[in-house]
Amino acid sequence: MAQDVRVLVGGNVKRVRERAGLTQAELAAKLEIDRAYVSGLERGVRNVTIMTLHHFATALRVPIAEFFAT
């Protein structure tokens, strides 16, 4: 069975966030969203929009494709 893309994206967001040295709370503050949303995204339980991923990529200064890396 193929991996759930939400889990793939969430894991990559977490990896990039940690590499940037940010906590979930710091990233959430930067994006003006709730920390629980960041947590849900990283755990793969949020079905995010492409615009949300764009905002995350901009805040983390990575190409959006980074979130789909396998």
Q: What are the residue boundaries of the structural domains of the chain, listed by start?
A: 5-68
Distance (Å, rounded) from C-alpha 18 to C-alpha 49?
A: 22
pLDDT of 1 strictly over 60: no
User: Do residues 38 and 28 lie in contact, with contact meaning Cβ atoms separated by under 8 Å?
Assistant: yes
Burial of 61 (0-12, 13-18, 19+ CB in 10 A): exposed
Q: What is the mean pLDDT of residues 5-11?
A: 97
pLDDT band at 66 (very low <50, low <70, confident <90, very high): very high
pLDDT of residue 2: 61
Helix, strand, or coil here: 20? coil
5-68: CATH topology is 434 Repressor (Amino-terminal Domain) (1.10.260)
Q: What pLDDT, on the 0 to 100 scale, is given for residue 56?
A: 98
HSE of 21, CA atoms in CB hemisphere, 13 A: 0
